[in-house]
Amino acid sequence: MKRSLPARKKASHKGDYGKVLIVAGSRGMLGAGVLATRAALRTGSGLVYWAVPDDLVNYANTITPEVIVVSLRDVNKVTPDAVAIGPGIDQKLDVNEIIQQFTLPPAAIVIDATALPQLKAFAGRAIITPHPGEMAALLGLTVEAVQANRRGIALQAALKFGAVVVLKGHQTVIAEPEGKVVINKSGNPGMATAGAGDVLTGMIASLAGQGLPAWNAAVTGVNLHGRAGDLAARRIGEPALIASDIIEQIGYAIQKSH
């Protein structure tokens, strides 16, 4: 993992570290976008754009000053290196319509949460991050069947969708269509908390936007996410851990990986 982390050059500027667009949040669910965008910033992105419905732009603008907020109807004005889409979005949102607005297709698309049912539109160029319930729905299985064969199910989904698959949960499984599989060992039960998945989405998108191939971005992002969660748990204990605590420890997790 150490070799996968992008190195910082002394003579550089924000444009050297990736431009990420995160489509996340809706009325009552803006927190998902806050967590994903802040996680992307903490993971090293030079520029992070946050796309929200038009009526929520002014609200979103007041939350994280380092993020550039745009309306969903204006995403065609952004030329991102990576896109993340799904956390907290309205179920009626056509994510394929949004992606088609880009003049140049992004190098990587991270698909999570509500966007997962529309996955077929992105076969071959996506990193998908389902939890067991979402994976069960995607493949027409029960959650019990997914959990009984996590490695095999992740591989099955990678082949079916032509995507890098991140099957979240205890010992997250990362798989790719060519048959490579990694089982992550970092992380703890305290990370079973609302918003932890949104943080992971932002982290993976950040790494992809900085130039890591989809596989490396997924493996490195999952490992760093777990390491940050472990640092947070040591600091405040597993029961008290919330998603924002993971974000606050990302920088320290990166430092310890060097």
Could you write out the DSSP letters of every residue in 155-170? HHHHHHHTSEEEE-ST
Given pLDDT bands bounded at 50, 70 and 90, which one contains residue 105?
low
What pLDDT is recorded for position 215? 95
| Annotated domain spans of the chain | 16-257
CA distance 34 to 101: 23
> Is the distance from CB of 216 to CB of 204 less than 8 angstroms?
no
Given pLDDT bands bounded at 50, 70 and 90, which one contains residue 103?
low
What architecture is domain 16-257? Answer: 3-Layer(aba) Sandwich (3.40)
What pLDDT is recorded for position 2? 47
Average pLDDT over residues 82-91: 93
E strands, the chain, are: 19-23, 47-52, 68-71, 82-85, 108-111, 126-128, 164-167, 173-175, 181-183
What pLDDT is recorded for position 104? 64
What pLDDT is recorded for position 231? 98
Q: pTM of this prediction?
A: 0.95
